Every structure is written in C-alpha cells, then in structure tokens.
Amino acid sequence: MPAQEIALLPLFCYIQVPLAVLPCMEDKRTMIVRLAEGPLRTKFGTFLEVLYYDGQQEIVAIVMGDVHQGENVLCRLHSHCLTAHVFNSTECDCREQMELAQALIEQQGTGVIIWLDQEGRGNGHLALIKSRALQAQGLSQTAAYVQLGYAADARQYTRAAEILHDLGLLSVRLMTNSPHKIESLRAAGITIAGTQPLLLDPGDNAILRRRYADKIAQGHRIPL
C-alpha cells in the first residue's frame, strides 16, 4: 500500500502512514489511528503495547489480558512526567503512581494504561520549570500556572476515550484520585463502573505534601 510521509515537526522525525488512514486523520472528530502493537515485558508482567497516532502526536496504551468487551476493567490515564519517570524526581508521585497502577493490573490479570504526552498538566515542560520559582515563594502549582498565564489544568482525555472505544471496553474501574478524569471520560461516552484511588504516603516530603494539598483543593480524594 502506498504511504505518505508526515512530518512530526516538534519531534524532528517522520513516520510512514498509509494513505488509507489519512481521511480519518483529517476528521478532527475521529483522529485516532492504530499504528503498531507488540509485547512489552515489564517487572509487572507482560503487556501488549499498542501505539496510536492522533494526527499530531503518538499515544501509547499498554494492555494486559483480554479487555475486549470487558466490564469493570482496571484503567489508568497517565500523563507524561519527564522529571519523575526519567530523572527520578521526588517533587511528585508520578513514577510511583505508574508502578502502583501496573502492580494492581498484574494482580487483577487484566487492565489498560494509556500514556498521554501532557507534561506540566498539559501546559508543557516550560510551564513546569517556570512554575518552580513561584512555588518556591509559596504559591501552589495551580496558582503558579495561572499567574504565569497558563491554564490551571490543560489536560484533555478525549483521545484516551477514543482509544478505550477502539479497544472495545464496555466499562472501566478508573485508577485515579481526580474527579476531572472521571467527568471527562463520562462526557466522552465511557462507562465508569467505579474508581480505584492511587494513594501514597508522602511521609516527610514537604514538597509532595504541598502538592497533595493543592490537589485536594482541586477536588482530588487524597487523605493526608
């Protein structure tokens, strides 16, 4: 099948996309394209890694077990966090939440995690770096973003919902502390059968405790 090269300018790379999928990429209502899939071996067992493309960026879903037509399937929507996942930052719990989600899925035997490129609550890594100076002055992360002219939370979950539809899930048990994720998925037609909080003890980590207090103010269910 002939293919057309599409430039991903922010990443300075190219992918080959069959011409047959281009019409749906141009339709902004349905832009998810499944590009490839294969086994991914992790310390929490073997997942099926499924690579999607939405016309602008790649999105990865990792799936354990048979989730097609599944009900009450464990599901995590996880946003990219460079500092936590690559540099082992202690200023957030993103890496620990990912590990906890994978461990819970391994125990259950089935589940889905969707990795979204939404660094800095969807505002980008520049916003995250710039916000640190204001946080050092006592502002919460939310207040720092707003003062810098960014959205308090710019993350979107429409593409994640499309991927869940593509995988054929009937309902999910969402691993989250965030009411925003629940509301967004329900608005996109995903049935939420229940939720599974991901709770971690911040201990004496003062930065993480302030981060949790900020999230609680935004409606997250995090007991301190």
Taking the C-alpha atoms of residue 179 and residue 152, their distance in angstroms, rounded to an integer, is 15
**What token pair was written down for 8?**
């991903």
Q: Evaluate whether residue 191 is within a structural domain.
A: yes
Q: Evaluate whether residue 81 is within a structural domain.
A: yes
pLDDT of residue 224: 57
The answer to whether 210 is a known catalytic residue is no
In CATH, what number is assigned to the domain containing residue 84? 3.40.50.10990
Going by C-beta distance under 8 Å and a sequence separation of 6 or more, which residues neighbour residue 23? Answer: none
Determine contact, residues 53/163, Cβ cutoff 8 Å: no
Domain span including residue 37 = 32-118+155-217
* Residue given tokens 């409606």 in the structure block: 219
**What token pair was written down for 191?**
């049935």
pLDDT of residue 208: 83
Taking the C-alpha atoms of residue 48 and residue 65, their distance in angstroms, rounded to an integer, is 8
Mean pLDDT of successive 10-residue segments in the chain (224 residues)? 38 38 41 94 98 94 97 96 91 92 97 95 90 91 91 91 96 92 93 90 86 78 66
Q: Evaluate whether residue 147 is within a structural domain.
A: no
Number of domains forming the structure of the chain: 1
Picking from 44, 24, 26, 43, the residue whose alpha carbon sits closest to that of residue 34 is 24
pLDDT of residue 9: 34
Q: Evaluate whether residue 10 is within a structural domain.
A: no
Q: Evaluate whether residue 144 is within a structural domain.
A: no
pLDDT of residue 30: 55
Determine contact, residues 198/176, Cβ cutoff 8 Å: yes
Taking the C-alpha atoms of residue 49 and residue 58, their distance in angstroms, rounded to an integer, is 12
Catalytic one of 34, 153, 166, 210: 153
Q: Evaluate whether residue 188 is within a structural domain.
A: yes
* Residue given tokens 């991903």 in the structure block: 8
pLDDT of residue 178: 86
Q: Evaluate whether residue 49 is within a structural domain.
A: yes
Q: Evaluate whether residue 186 is within a structural domain.
A: yes
Picking from 79, 154, 167, the residue whose alpha carbon sits closest to that of residue 115 is 79
The answer to whether 153 is a known catalytic residue is yes
Catalytic one of 155, 159, 173, 211: 155
> Rg of the chain's alpha carbons, rounded to an integer?
18
pLDDT of residue 223: 62
Read off the pTM.
0.82
